[in-house]
Amino acid sequence: MFNPSLQQESENADILRGRQLHAAEQNVERALVGSLFAATLTTVFFHSGWEHTVWAWYLGVVVVCTVRILFARRVTRHPSGPVAPAEIYKFVLWSIVTATTLTSFPLWVTMNTDGFTFAYMMALTLGTFWSASFVHAPIISTAIAFMLTELGVAIVAASLAGMDWSRAGLVALFVVGTGAALHIIRQHSDLFRQAVLQQLELENKTEVIELLLKEHEAQSSDWLWQTDDKLRIAAPSARFAEAIAQNGTDLAGQTVEQVLSDRATDGNTEALAELNAHLANRRAFRDVVVPQSLDSQTYWLSVSGRPVYDRRDRFVGYRGVMADITVARLAQARAAHLAQHDALTDLPNRAQFSARLSRALCRGQSFALLSIDLDGFKAVNDGFGHPAGDKLLVEIARRLQNSLGSTDIVARLGDDEFVIQTQQANPDRIASLCRQLIEATGQPVIFEGSEIAVGASIGIAFAPTDGATTDEILKSADSALARAKRDGRGRFRFFSAAMDRELQLQQQLIQDLRSALGREELILHYQPFIDAQSGEMTGCEALIRWHHSERGMISPGQFVPLAEESGLIVPIGDWVIEHACREAASWNNNRRVSVNVSPVQFSNRSLPERIQAILQKTGLAPNRLEIEVTETVLVEDPKMALDALGQVRALGVRVALDDFGTGYSSLSYLREFPFDKIKIDRSFVQDLEARRDSQIIVRAILDIAMGLDMTITAEGIELTEQADYLRQIGCHEFQGYLFGRPTAANDLPAALTGDREASSPTAADGQLESVCRADSA
Ligand code: C2E
Ligand code: MG
Ligand code: MG
């Protein structure tokens, strides 16, 4: 693998060697200048004879060289590395020039003065040897060149001075000088060997690094790039050229900017400006992302690089790495998109929608918020499976989007919860939009050959009137939605402050209801059924009552929907069935008891088993129990409901269809399940005398029910005329205030209960019942 630290090391060594050379070179020049300066000073200050001047010269050389030596030692204490031959030649030349200059002054003195002694020559020569060996110590060849030049000049000087007697001395001096040179060579040979070894090692390393880099480049998705000092791409690798070159253009010689420029791509100009700023300032940079496009597809390059300097610290270009980060970038963009959007429908999600609402509220914008909930979606999921549910949601999301204006936005907040923010503030327009949305949602979707359909209920709130914060406005729209659902599905409702108060009250009631069972605040009243012909009591219907400790009597019409909404209807419903069964079991006859079972109770698949367990526990014969269900049970999740109803009926329990004629009144339900009884809704019975249409409808229901062999019960009979008419047209059973109001178990007439056993558990249910003996008129 590519190891950047190896490359870094070799480049550091390069720089260091450059500095060593530079320092050594400077030493020579400075020594020359320094000694000339010292000699001049001595001459000026002492005005003495030439002897003194020469001595001063010698001293100057020694002092200046010593200082330089110390400096050079400090700078060059690292092992010296290989030096380029050209540098060496240049340095040797400098050394010769320096040596000649240094010696020519004493030579000139020698030739122009008398009494120059051997001692002076000796001192001079040894002094220069001494300084030379140290000044040029870092570079052996130059040190030798310096000494030999000095020696040569000294011999010439001695000869010219005609000092025969000194020749022997000069020969000796030559021997000593050569010895000293050999000594220096020996001293430095280790260093030299080391340098050669280092050179070899470095060459090896460079080779290895190059190999590694090549291998790295071949295997990875990155490309190495380099430029010359004019920032023109140099020696581009084939892979790099192939990846970058547009239309096969030759990259070499083009600037980085030219190579990466793609003005048609968004963000390219800005990225190049950033890159150029780094390049112009010779700064190292990392991961500058440059967008490009190829065949109308955008891709992203990540560019890193750093400036490279030669041994003399001169900028020679940039080297770096480029990588195609398109895949990572797209994944990143996808992740960012998913954080803001719903994965299934691709609509904005809660996070994005809330942020939008907050911004709009902060800016003081007015808008309407529509909270939409699908009716019957759970049934689709349960009946057709999640793929069908998903398909439906995607389709509905599309339809909602299509129904909106360009400035409106729809988001999916959860399972089947959608919200719309619309700039529309006119209630009439919003009402017509809601109708359109409900209509669009209700259109069936074909899934694997079957038509599946759901409805929609909508709650509407206006900002900022109905809420100053995101939470408040969403809560208001939800309150309105809850109201729309309660009023019957497929409707829309505008939020009102009263609704809010109502919602708060409802929340409070739900709280209270949770503990109502434990506090024995719930009781059952019973309303008899009368045989239309004989006038005898055939049984009764158990109707729940809540005696709230502070609010008094609360009717089921008020709290049953809350119990359904909160799921509390399941334990409450079980309690009702058990108490009703226990009550009927205490009678000394075979009269039936009817209990109302909510659709929510059917969502729990164990309902038939629980009914069976209760029957066993209370000992009531199954055929003495009747459950009353409304059509809604078949609307929500028909398959599951029919299944459960079948199981209940298989136990021997009778099943009645309550409130028939209201709601959906789809006759197909009568075909789908063999109900034992149909209860004609009170609203038709009460209009019987006044409205002919009610008579026609009641007669039609009777015809159908009789044809299907079902018992027909008319609810809410208050007048004898109503009873007479219904008897005349063939109705089997009556229920209504005319025959008896719902009453507490204790007050049930003996005609219904027979000779009730004294220890009836329901009858001994406590004092509570004594305070609510019968429903007041
Ligand atoms: P429902 O099952 O249709 O019950 C008949 C309702 O009509 C009862 O109201 C009853 O008191 C009332 N009623 C009977 N005869 C007359 C009459 O001649 N005139 C008038 N004006 N009303 C009459 P209630 O008890 O207020 O119950 C209302 C609804 O609450 C019931 O309608 C039923 O759907 C529901 N409910 C009652 N008890 C339970 C229960 O234990 N579980 C469930 N899930 N729902 C229940
Ligand atoms: Mg009923
Ligand atoms: Mg009813």
Q: Which two tokens stand for residue 332?
A: 């990143």
Q: How far is the CA of 223 from the CAs of 2, 213, 237, 322, 472, in angstroms?
A: 12, 10, 8, 5, 55
Report the C-alpha gap between 699 and 735 in whole angstroms.
17
Say what the pLDDT of residue 2 is.
37
Q: What would the mean pLDDT of 621-640 be, rounded to a whole number?
A: 87
Helix (H) or strand (E) holding 481, with range, is helix 470-486
Cβ of 543 closer than 6 Å to ligand 1, yes or no, is yes
Say what the pLDDT of residue 578 is.
97
Cβ of 561 closer than 6 Å to ligand 1, yes or no, is no
Report the C-alpha gap between 408 and 411 in whole angstroms.
10
Cβ of 110 closer than 6 Å to ligand 1, yes or no, is no
Give the least confident one: 175-179, 232-236, 261-265, 342-346.
175-179
Ligand 1 atom nearest to CA at 681: 3
Percent share of the chain, pLDDT over 70:
67
Sign of CA dihedral 421, 422, 427, 433: negative
For residue 508, with 0-12 CB atoms within 10 Å meaning exposed, 13-18 middle and 19 or more buried, which class applies? exposed
Asked if residue 111 lies in contact with residue 162, where contact means CB atoms within 8 angstroms, the answer is no
Ligand 1 atom nearest to CA at 628: 2
Cβ of 27 closer than 6 Å to ligand 1, yes or no, is no
Spacing, Cα 379 to ligand 3 middle (Å)? 24
Helix (H) or strand (E) holding 50, with range, is helix 50-75
Cβ of 659 closer than 6 Å to ligand 1, yes or no, is yes
| DSSP annotation string for 649-670 | HHTT-EEEEEEETBTT--THHH
Q: Which of 596, 601, 687 to mutate to test the pocket of ligand 1 (most atoms within 8 A of CB)?
A: 596
Report the C-alpha gap between 774 and 777 in whole angstroms.
9
The CA R_g of the chain, rounded to the nearest whole Å, is 53
Bigger pLDDT: 95 vs 639: 639
Cβ of 291 closer than 6 Å to ligand 1, yes or no, is no
Contacts of 102 (CB under 8 A, 6+ apart): 32, 35, 61, 128, 150
Say what the pLDDT of residue 694 is.
85
Q: How far is the CA of 53 from the CAs of 86, 115, 128, 724, in angstroms?
A: 38, 14, 16, 156
143 pLDDT tier (thresholds 50, 70, 90): low
Q: What would the mean pLDDT of 57-77 be, rounded to a whole number?
A: 55
Asked if residue 167 lies in contact with residue 101, where contact means CB atoms within 8 angstroms, the answer is no
**Atom 2 of ligand 1, residue of closest alpha carbon:** 596
- Cβ count within 10 A of residue 262: 19
Asked if residue 346 lies in contact with residue 409, where contact means CB atoms within 8 angstroms, the answer is no
At residue 81, does pLDDT exceed 50?
no
Q: Which two tokens stand for residue 120?
A: 């002076």
Q: What would the mean pLDDT of 83-88 be, rounded to a whole number?
A: 60
Question: Which of the given ranges, 33-37, 39-43, 422-426, 690-694, has the highest pLDDT on average?
Answer: 422-426
Looking at residue 520, its amino acid is: E
Report the C-alpha gap between 265 and 268 in whole angstroms.
6
Q: Which two tokens stand for residue 213?
A: 């880099």
Percent share of the chain, pLDDT over 90:
39
Spacing, Cα 753 to ligand 1 middle (Å)? 21
Q: What would the mean pLDDT of 422-440 be, rounded to a whole number?
A: 93
User: Rounded to two decimals, what is the model's pTM?
Assistant: 0.55
In the block, residue with structure tokens 């060496």: 88
Among 601, 602, 585, 584, which residue's Cα sits nearest to residue 593?
584
The three-point CA angle 613-617-621 to 5° equals 85
Q: What would the mean pLDDT of 326-344 be, rounded to a whole number?
A: 89
Asked if residue 290 lies in contact with residue 303, where contact means CB atoms within 8 angstroms, the answer is yes
Strand partners, 595: 542, 627
Q: How far is the CA of 66 from the CAs of 97, 724, 775, in angstroms?
A: 20, 139, 123
* Average pLDDT in the chain: 79
Give residue-wise pLDDT tens across range 602-617.
888 899 999 999 999 9
Give residue-wise pLDDT tens across range 723-775.
999 999 999 999 999 999 999 998 888 888 886 654 444 443 433 444 345 56
Ligand 1 atom nearest to CA at 775: 11
At residue 456, does pLDDT exceed 80?
yes
Say what the pLDDT of residue 770 is.
41
Give residue-wise pLDDT tens across range 121-135.
555 555 555 555 555
At residue 777, does pLDDT exceed 80?
no
State phi, psi for 552 to the nearest 5 degrees.
Answer: 80, -150
Asked if residue 75 lies in contact with residue 101, where contact means CB atoms within 8 angstroms, the answer is no
CB under 8 Å, gap of 24 or more: what pairs does 130-136 form? Answer: 130/62, 130/65, 131/31, 131/61, 131/62, 131/65, 132/99, 133/180, 133/184, 134/65, 134/66, 134/69, 134/72, 135/24, 135/27, 135/28, 135/31, 135/65, 135/68, 135/69, 135/72, 136/24, 136/28, 136/95
Report the C-alpha gap between 582 and 408 in whole angstroms.
58
Spacing, Cα 493 to ligand 2 middle (Å)? 28
Say what the pLDDT of residue 744 is.
93
Cβ of 104 closer than 6 Å to ligand 1, yes or no, is no
Contacts of 117 (CB under 8 A, 6+ apart): none
Give residue-wise pLDDT tens across range 281-307.
898 999 999 998 877 788 889 999 999
Asked if residue 319 lies in contact with residue 308, where contact means CB atoms within 8 angstroms, the answer is yes
- Cβ count within 10 A of residue 644: 23
Strand duo 625-629 + 592-596: pairing:
parallel
Ligand 1 atom nearest to CA at 601: 44
Among 597, 599, 565, 603, which residue's Cα sits nearest to residue 381?
603
Asked if residue 315 lies in contact with residue 309, where contact means CB atoms within 8 angstroms, the answer is yes
Spacing, Cα 638 to ligand 1 middle (Å)? 24
Give residue-wise pLDDT tens across range 151-178.
666 666 666 656 554 455 555 555 555 5
Q: What would the mean pLDDT of 197-203 be, rounded to a whole number?
A: 60
Ligand 1 atom nearest to CA at 718: 18
Give residue-wise pLDDT tens across range 14-53.
455 545 555 554 555 555 565 566 556 655 555 555 556 6
Give residue-wise pLDDT tens across range 527-580.
999 999 999 999 999 999 999 989 999 999 989 989 998 899 999 999 999 999
Say what the pLDDT of residue 50 is.
56
Ligand 1 atom nearest to CA at 555: 26
Residue 524 in 3-state DSSP?
A: strand
- Cβ count within 10 A of residue 756: 19
Residue 773 in 3-state DSSP?
A: coil
Q: How far is the CA of 58 from the CAs of 120, 360, 515, in angstroms?
A: 10, 90, 114
Report the C-alpha gap between 539 and 530 in whole angstroms.
8
Among 627, 636, 532, 531, which residue's Cα sits nearest to residue 574?
627
Sign of CA dihedral 754, 758, 762, 767: positive
313 pLDDT tier (thresholds 50, 70, 90): confident
Q: How far is the CA of 31 from the CAs of 69, 127, 641, in angstroms?
A: 10, 13, 109
105 pLDDT tier (thresholds 50, 70, 90): low
**Atom 8 of ligand 1, residue of closest alpha carbon:** 543
Give the sheet arrangement for strand 409-412, strand by strand. 409-412, 417-422, 367-375, 455-463, 492-494
Q: Which two tokens stand for residue 11?
A: 């480049």
Among 489, 493, 490, which residue's Cα sits nearest to residue 476?
493
At residue 693, does pLDDT exceed 60?
yes
Cβ of 594 closer than 6 Å to ligand 1, yes or no, is no
Q: Which two tokens stand for residue 452?
A: 């599946």
Q: Which two tokens stand for residue 476?
A: 């208001």
**Atom 27 of ligand 1, residue of closest alpha carbon:** 556
Ligand 1 atom nearest to CA at 630: 34
At residue 432, does pLDDT exceed 60?
yes
